[in-house]
Structure 1
């Protein structure tokens, strides 16, 4: 199958990589890493539940990305004017049927991991897993997609922060210490910052498509300020764990994420628009991963 008439052939493997949005999957690694760091801090680390949580998180995010690929196409949000990386269905690389089948396959894989996690953590994991799958579908699918009504940022913050981080702790410790909820805030903030850059880039095209993201509602300037607020909050809350919480000086390791943040934030601060923001999107995903891993290490060694 080819991407378009006259275009060079695209392999199926590359098409699936594009549909899964592999470069963004670091968003699933950071919450599990931080949750595992909390489990280590409270002497509750369990390797197999941690790995199963990571596998489930990755499958859920891939499933959500595939759902977005096909549902955005059906709703007319993905057109030839698209500024972001190519979408598999919109470009003709994969059929709608293929992507929907792939979506359900990875959700089924997440469910298999969820069965094991439910054995380790009980019925709350079943509820959380079903909520994650449902949320991934209604984000851009269904009669009232939440991503089209300004709720995408809240959804991302809650699921990647307040669900994924404490959930990872719970499947290992069978309890959630209060600090797990605090640790979820920086993670939710940095993951959401990835979405903010995406929405900032697409303000004009989303507005024309009737996709009312928070970026469309806030406008260019306040979306940039929202990005700054999120990344600033991540550092403030993480570092406050030393003087005000259960952490020691190793949490200062998160300051090492300032370097990738500088690269990610520069286009946002400088007023860059359109496709030029794709570099910032990739850099923000990298910042999120570095921040999450350093924060996890700081928690675990405190």
Structure 2
């Protein structure tokens, strides 16, 4: 299939379906990677006193916009490099399947990053201007994930980068802007979420292993092999739950945090699906369950913290 010029569209798009296409472009199953850390970081800050709700909203919206912008850059650069086609599996490929104009996708990504910058200015004015540098680094990582001469998505470091910048960093910033400080306990609590956010990325790379290999990528599943990649994902889930148990024993969190065990069916289902199926089109349930693990684990952990705070 021939790609048209970057300023043109590939095919017509029905207006009544355009909002659905834009919704798919955001890749909604990935947005919890921004929502959960921002919420958890703020809830942890609540233990030290009152929180500023407007700072929380600004941080939450900025994080989600950066995540969406990153997804749009992914869409655009995958098209530019010829990686997407009408038979591509997943919710990406809006340019080749639904006729979205490439430049529209690119400029929208830039626009979302620009709004994030404005929200960042408000956050910095209320806390510290050092956060501006961190925010710019986060946006650079989002752009360079699929953009630039050597995209992060072509390397085995995608899981680490996404976990750190969309998990740990968001939790730490969300906590800092409310309290003006950072603690080792908050850092430690951020680790399970960091691992689970990276797991979302890993599940995507497991599904796309064959196609990524054909396109010259060197992702973790490609280097480790599919079977080992599934084992790594399994251990990522196990370690995340074990860390909460360890933190309860150490007194870093209370026994209320054991409520995260209610989310356990999700990772179990994800691993079963990855072991039972290999075709990319059959792995959407596995990927969805992986993303839901982060969602439910993080929100239940936040609920556990809130229960302890108010009881």
2:40 pairs with 1:50: no
Shift of 1:77: 2.2
Distance in 2 between residues matched to 1:119 and 1:258, nearest whole Å: 40
Equivalent of 2:258, from 246, 252, 255?
252
- Contact in 1 for aligned 2:40/2:298 (Cα 8 Å): yes
Matched, 1:236 2:273: no
Superposed, which structure 2 residues align to 1:150-161 within 5 Å? 150-161=156-167
Contact 1:118 1:126 in 2 (8 A): yes
Q: TM-score, normalised by structure 2?
A: 0.91
- Structure 2 partner of 1:277: 283
Please list every run of 5 or more consecutive structure 2 residues that lacks an aligned counterpart in the other structure.
1-7
1:87 to 93, 98, 104: 93
Structure 1: which 5+ residue stretches go unaligned? none
- In the other structure, the counterpart of 2:108 is 102
1:40 aligns with 2:53: no
What residue number does 1:164 align with? Answer: 170
What TM-score, normalized to structure 1? 0.93
Counterpart of 2:196 in structure 1 is 190
User: Deviations for 1:146-177, whole angstroms, at most 9, x for unmatched residues?
Assistant: 11122111111111222111111011111111
Q: Larger RCO: Structure 1 or Structure 2 (Cα < 8 Å, ≥ 6 residues apart)?
A: 1
CA contact (8 A) 1:82 1:205 kept: no
Deviations 1:225-277 (A, max 9, x none): 11111111111112222111322110111111112333333202334432111
- CA displacement at 1:8 relative to structure 2: 7.4
Q: Is the 8 A contact 1:156 1:192 kept in 2?
A: yes
Take 2:239 and 2:265, find their aligned partners in 1: how far apart are those partners? 17
Contact 2:176 2:182 in 1 (8 A): yes
Query: How many pairs does the alignment contain?
Result: 301
User: 2: CA distance between counterparts of 1:298 and 1:149?
Assistant: 37
Q: Give the secondary structure class of the aligned counterpart of 2:88.
A: coil
Contact map agreement 1:34 1:165 (CA 8 A) in 2: yes
In 2, Cα distance between equivalents of 1:147 and 1:264: 22
- Identify the residue that residue 113 of structure 1 maps to in structure 2: 119
| Aligned counterpart, 2:130 | 124
C-alpha distance in 1, partners of 2:16/2:211? 26
Q: Tell me if the contact between 2:38 and 2:60 (Cα under 8 Å) persists in the aligned partners.
A: yes
CA distance in 2, matches of 1:94, 1:267: 32
Question: Given the superposition, is the C-alpha separation of residues 217 and 10 from structure 1 closer, same or farther in structure 2, using an over 3 Å criterion?
Answer: farther
- CA drift at 1:10: 6.8
Matched, 1:210 2:229: no
